[in-house]
Structure 1
């Protein structure tokens, strides 16, 4: 008589009728392979088992990469939808003041930022009452301010249309009372056409990781392009 314990008949019948259940269960397969290696003794090297282990490790890495790619694709799709919604909301107002008010309200909420600020360079002293009313959104600056703000004191720094960076001491001239809470920002350099001074649209965030130099800028560059063209209508 065999001293080996017999497997339960119902379980045996299930395995015989559905072997794929065993093959698809990684934990069960590992246990079977380990039992087979123990039965061969310590003096035998199972090259097939080693190869299988390596293939399994490569498969795990491929699955991780696959999940990362899918997650990144979903993030990109969500970001695209977010920017498109913000643009559509930005295009709704037909007057300049509501247009700016929406930037600091609905548009900022859609983009999930703490605040949005618009800086316009001007060679004149713009201190009219309407400018004061929009002081929490709109700031006037002297010519050259935009480049100086983006360069952060580095004269050789290349100026891109979109600059993403962390902020340690936010500029009160830009953010006002919200400056103490800003930890990162997206700076969108604006070109209003020939003969006009540049502007700057700044998105401030309380999360220091919301905007960083490693992130892509294509969507924000598109947003800046739409904003430029909309502003030209008001400035004409």
Structure 2
């Protein structure tokens, strides 16, 4: 019958390297002491099998919760993007059904409010030359002044003097401006500088860090649809 060696004892108490070496030499003693295992948070399952209990389970649950939260955020963003794309496509179909330039401007404002929850939308055309009823007239070179000589878009807070949204102007806190250059049939010039403008009632509705693919797509639909009809003087 073998006799187990005593753990080394000194005035300073046993040191962990010595305890660890002793446990490695006699592991079955620990495995057979169920009460001790439970006290340190371990749960035995048969011979030579130990389940890491509450502490390990808590860590695993925390990891699972973080992964679930991240997955929910990704799914939420994906659903929002899909909904926005669907509304954009439906809005494009509404615009394509316009009967004339004035109806096109009216439909743009209606889909901006009804489908995207915006304060409104407008189309604006630089002078000189006729401006369709329902479109906003801009002074010459005004588009370059707003977007820069080579700028295509501008997203950010509304500013004094824009005056594109009529009765809704006071509600607009941020805007998206998209450059257009429609070429109207029979016009003397090849293209007229123009803007497609969207106004949001929220200050962060449009910001410089946002992507503008959806509003730019709507602007392109407006531009191409407007080229169906000639400008009447």
Shorter-chain TM-score range: 0.5 to 0.7
Asked if the contact 2:176/2:198 (under 8 Å) is kept, the reply is yes
Counterparts of 1:207 and 1:227, CA distance in 2: 24
Task: Give the C-alpha shift of residue 213 in structure 1.
Answer: 2.7
In the alignment, which residue of structure 2 is the partner of 1:179? 169
TM-score by length of 1: 0.65
In the alignment, which residue of structure 1 is the partner of 2:215? 220
Stretches of structure 2 lacking an aligned partner (at least 5 in a row): 1-34, 42-50, 184-188
Residue among 195, 206, 227 paired with 2:190: 195
Moved more, 61-70 or 90-99: 90-99
Counterparts of 1:170 and 1:85, CA distance in 2: 32
Counterparts of 2:144 and 2:52, CA distance in 1: 63
Asked if the contact 1:171/1:179 (under 8 Å) is kept, the reply is no
**Bigger-Rg structure (1/2):** 2
In the alignment, which residue of structure 1 is the partner of 2:17? none
Counterparts of 2:139 and 2:177, CA distance in 1: 17
In the alignment, which residue of structure 1 is the partner of 2:143? 146
* Ranges of 4+ aligned residues in structure 1 off by more than 4 Å: 36-39, 47-52
Q: In the alignment, does 2:156 pair up with 1:165?
A: yes
Backbone CA RMSD of aligned residues: 3.1
Task: Give the C-alpha shift of residue 214 in structure 1.
Answer: 3.1
Task: Give the C-alpha shift of residue 39 in structure 1.
Answer: 4.5
Moved more, 215-224 or 197-206: 215-224
Q: How many residues align?
A: 183
> CA deviation digits over 1:95-139, x for unaligned, max 9?
222222222335542232111111111234x48xxx5xx3xx411
Task: Give the C-alpha shift of residue 61 in structure 1.
Answer: 1.6
Task: Give the C-alpha shift of residue 62 in structure 1.
Answer: 1.2
> CA deviation digits over 1:139-158, x for unaligned, max 9?
1222321121124xxx8xx7
TM-score by length of 2: 0.66
In the alignment, which residue of structure 2 is the partner of 1:117? 122
> CA deviation digits over 1:154-203, x for unaligned, max 9?
x8xx723x432232x34353234432221011212113258313210101
In the alignment, which residue of structure 1 is the partner of 2:98? 93
Counterparts of 1:37 and 1:227, CA distance in 2: 76
Task: Give the C-alpha shift of residue 224 in structure 1.
Answer: 1.8
In the alignment, which residue of structure 2 is the partner of 1:22? none
Counterparts of 1:121 and 1:55, CA distance in 2: 63
Stretches of structure 1 lacking an aligned partner (at least 5 in a row): 1-35
1:192 alignment partner, SS class: coil
- Could you say if the C-alpha distance between residues 205 and 170 of structure 1 is closer, same or farther in structure 2, counting changes exceeding 3 Å? farther
Q: In the alignment, does 2:78 pair up with 1:73?
A: yes
Counterparts of 1:65 and 1:228, CA distance in 2: 40
- Could you say if the C-alpha distance between residues 71 and 101 of structure 1 is closer, same or farther in structure 2, counting changes exceeding 3 Å? same
